[in-house]
Amino acid sequence: MTATLKDVIAEKSRQFEADFAAGDVAALVEGYYTADPVVIGQGIGTFTGPDGASAYFLGAVQDMKTAQLSTTSVQHEGNSAIETGRVVLTPRAEGAGDIHLAYVVVWQNGEDGWKVHMDYFMPAAA
Mean pLDDT, consecutive 10-residue segments, the chain of 126 residues?
85 98 98 98 95 96 97 96 98 95 98 97 92
DSSP states along 21-83: HHT-HHHHHHHHEEEEEEEEETTTEEEEHHHHHHHHHHHHHHHEEEEEEEEEEEEEETTEEEE
The phi, psi pair for 6, rounded to 5°, reads -60, -35
**pTM assigned to the model:** 0.94
Amino acid at 121: F
